[in-house]
A and B are shown apart, each in its own frame.
Chain A
Amino acid sequence: MSEMTLVEAVNLALARAMEDDPDVVVLGEDVGINGGVFRATAGLQARFGPERVLDTPLAELLISGLCVGMAAQGLRPVGEIQFMGFLYPCIDQLVNHASRIRNRTQGRLTCPMVLRTPHGAGIRAPEHHSESTEAMLAHIPGLRVVIPSSPERAYRLLLAAIRDPDPVVFLEPTRIYRAAKGEVEDNGEALPLDVAFVLREGRDVTLISWGAMLKETMAAADALAVDGIAAEVVDLATLKPYDEVTVLGSVTKTGRCVIVHEATRTGGFGAEIAALIAERSLTSLLAPVARVTGYDTVIPMARLEQHMMPSVDRIVTAARKACQFS
């Protein structure tokens, strides 16, 4: 067991998956000799050869479409899109093909592919490099959308995604690629998909988040604890399909819920969770469900981006307000 960063855990999972299964193919721009712009694929080409670790032309639609063709042939392609802002040319392939080829052909063809991309703001990157449009992907039937929040979960959820018989979009929280460190044992064991993780138990308020935003959410839980408020923190991890049981179970227990995401508010995934709680657990609520989200604006460039993203203070304020509601 060794301590590593989240991006190193991604690399470890890719290497493990390629070692275990000769059908696993990694493809994308700069994934080969360069090891990916974030080094997520570092060393893989030297180890597994250029046929299985493939530098593609600069064409995102192509990368996702190649994955569909390869997957229909029984390969396990793992495509990399360098930043989420460049994922949009892939949407046609994800919506019209990857997510529905099983259904269209009634199971005759399937699509066990993974499309990985860095997700989210906070790294002072240029325009179009800080997107967090996960709700758009989570709206697509037949797809899985997974966001890890620690090196351990990155390693085990990516292994699960690669082994899954259906297409998975794997969103890697850019802001904590290197900031998140932890022990990971390279034993090839996967975590289940479609399952939320309770990172911290508490009786007073449920804080739900995913990806990099869990860093602030956990810090908020610490701050609330000082005030004697015991926050339960849920890492949703898989957004499509998401773990309704854990969400409802936690909210039923605490009676209060704050959903935290850096993506813009309108139509964000927080709205889905709030609606679920309203439909299924209204009577257990002691306060309105609150959302702490990015604002309904384009994610600003470096100088203002921290003002767009939920801060620990905003989360703490929302949770306190929920706890004081009567």
Chain B
Amino acid sequence: MADAGLPVIARFEVRHRNYLAPDGSINRPLPAFASDASLLTALYRAMVLLRIFDRKAVALQRTGRLGTYAVSLGQEAVSVGIASAMRGEDVLLPSYRDNGALIWRGVKLEEILLFWGGDERGNHFSGPVEDFPFCVPVGSQAPHAAGVAYAFKLRREPRVAVCMFGDGATSKGDVYEAMNFAGVHRLPVVFVVTNNQWAISVPLRLQTGCETLAQKAIAAGFIGEQVDGSDVVAVRAAAEDAIVAARDGQGPRFVEAVTYRLGDHTTSDDASRYRSADEVQTRWKEEPIARLRNYLVGQKMWSKAEEEALAAECHARVEAAVERYLATEQRRPETMFDHLYARLPEAYAAQRRELAGEGDV
């Protein structure tokens, strides 16, 4: 035991933010933006679209028309809430489960399908051109975010890099190295961890000995806040505070969105191998879409008719995207060389010709 008589030289605290209870009632006064019904319903619409899109993507995968896919089921509030607080000129550095953020920022559904369908053209998307593609090696995009934010700072541009990753990524040095650097230089970057409790089969208690992931920011010298990640109002409010502060030159922030992955890790995973149906069933009672709907309905901001219209609209939008995806013309094999280098070195031109059937190798 440490000597109780020794002086304390530092104390830290981690705040937790929540507004909407699982039943849609409010725990504390909502932030100002929540009085804007059109914004709240836009968040709701985006989450519903994402869930319907996810369901369709899984169906496509099960019928052999899409590759492995990572669903957002249960954690729709995080990517939608975060992206909604960003400006177009900010840069998003997403992990592979942040479809909701990409869609909010203008990436087309068929582009996301193309990516998961095994076609790099899905990453040449219609969203902001400087946004990064999905990052698959966990957490390795965090140093990129610090680099992007450094460029913003060097050029005195009032822009913010927003880097998203999962709870597993917080165990990696990449994330800590990036946060540490961002803290040193007070960079305009917001790190967001979607703490969905499971890194494939490894639960949070085996991922970290920390009480919160948010406290990892303390070691990097900035504020980490925990939010209820199934409460889109809380996610959006925390993201907005963090992004505004970062844009204002106050340095980086870290947001831990505590939520739950109701689905499998990907379509290649079977989560019933490592967690109980009871646990999942319990968590369904906290999920973000019903939560916001209950609130909106209670506030007379949303009706059954609007719900039905939204469902029809989302289904139509998704079906149309699927059609465009399935109708996308196959790339010619030799195009795999087209973006390897700015100009294909002569040494590899012969290989390209071989693929093109002009074999002279």
**Are A65 and B120 in contact, with the CB atoms below 8 A?**
no
Binding site for A on B (CB under 8 A): 91, 120-121, 123-125, 129-130, 132-133, 136-137, 140, 142-152, 154, 161, 173-174, 177-178, 180-181, 184, 338-342, 345-348
Chain A contributes a number of interface residues (CB within 8 A of B) equal to 47
User: Using Cβ atoms and an 8 Å threshold, which residues of chain A touch B342?
Assistant: 102, 110, 164-166
What are 27 sample pairs from A and B whose C-beta atoms fall under 8 A apart?
A: A51-B154, A52-B154, A61-B173, A61-B177, A65-B140, A66-B143, A66-B144, A66-B146, A68-B144, A69-B143, A69-B146, A70-B147, A72-B130, A75-B151, A89-B173, A92-B137, A93-B140, A96-B136, A96-B140, A97-B140, A101-B133, A103-B120, A104-B120, A104-B133, A106-B121, A164-B342, A243-B347
User: Using Cβ atoms and an 8 Å threshold, which residues of chain A touch B347?
Assistant: 194, 241-244
Total A-B pairs, Cβ < 8 A: 137
**Are B150 and A69 in contact, with the CB atoms below 8 A?**
yes
User: Using Cβ atoms and an 8 Å threshold, which residues of chain B touch A109?
Assistant: 130, 132-133
The 5 closest A-B pairs by CB, nearest first: A69-B147, A65-B143, A73-B151, A69-B144, A106-B124
Within 87-113 of A, Cβ neighbours of B (below 8 Å) are at 89, 92-93, 96-97, 101-110
Name the prevailing secondary structure of the B interface residues: helix
Contact of B154 among A75, A89, A142, A245 (CB under 8 A): A75
11 more A-B contacts (CB under 8 A) besides A62-B143, A68-B147, A70-B151? A25-B154, A62-B181, A66-B147, A69-B149, A73-B130, A73-B147, A103-B339, A105-B133, A106-B339, A108-B125, A108-B129
User: Using Cβ atoms and an 8 Å threshold, which residues of chain A touch B137?
Assistant: 92, 96-97
Within 211-270 of A, Cβ neighbours of B (below 8 Å) are at 241-245
Binding site for B on A (CB under 8 A): 25, 51-52, 56-57, 59, 61-62, 64-75, 77, 89, 92-93, 96-97, 101-110, 141-142, 164-166, 194, 241-245
Nearest-CB distance from A252 to chain B (Å)?
17
Nearest-CB distance from A18 to chain B (Å)?
13
| Distance, CA A31 to CA B124, complexed state (A) | 36
| Distance, CA A104 to CA B140, complexed state (A) | 15
User: Using Cβ atoms and an 8 Å threshold, which residues of chain A touch B161?
Assistant: 69
